[in-house]
């Protein structure tokens, strides 16, 4: 408070109207508060996006083996099958 009063008196001594000199510290405080709220808003928004992304990653169905790819004997001989379709290249001379 003492520093604000000193700044107000100094500004008034330099020719600034007393009302403006008294209001200037409040304007500066409000501007600083606005910048802090702006920064806090974006940080909170970033935190919300991070939480949503973590939740989505946790609940995502990342089961890559859900297609049940397996090595077995099937209609096209022994090989890697996904359902009833052989997905590996196989050996063309296998059945000879």
The rounded distance, in Å, linking the Cα atoms of 46 and 53 is 10
pLDDT of residue 37: 98
pLDDT of residue 85: 84
Strands 85-86 and 77-82, by their bridges, are: antiparallel
The 10s digit of each residue's pLDDT in 49-66 is 999 999 998 888 766 555
The 10s digit of each residue's pLDDT in 13-26 is 888 888 888 888 88
Please give the mean pLDDT across all residues of the chain.
85
Q: Are 88 and 73 in contact (CB under 8 A)?
A: no
State yes or no: pLDDT of 67 exceeds 70: no
Max distance between CA atoms of the chain, in angstroms, equals 107
The 10s digit of each residue's pLDDT in 29-40 is 999 999 999 999
Distances (CA, A) of 81 to 16, 62, 71: 86, 20, 6
């Amino acid at each position: 408070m003492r520093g604000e009063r000193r700044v107000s008196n100094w500004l008034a001594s330099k020719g600034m109207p007393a009302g403006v000199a008294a209001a200037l510290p409040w304007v500066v405080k409000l501007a600083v508060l606005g910048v802090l709220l702006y920064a806090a808003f974006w940080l909170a928004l970033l935190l919300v996006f991070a939480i949503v992304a973590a939740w989505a990653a946790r609940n995502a169905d990342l089961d890559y083996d859900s297609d049940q790819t397996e090595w077995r004997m099937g209609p096209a001989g022994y090989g890697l099958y996904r359902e009833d379709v052989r997905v590996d290249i196989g050996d063309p001379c296998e059945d000879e």
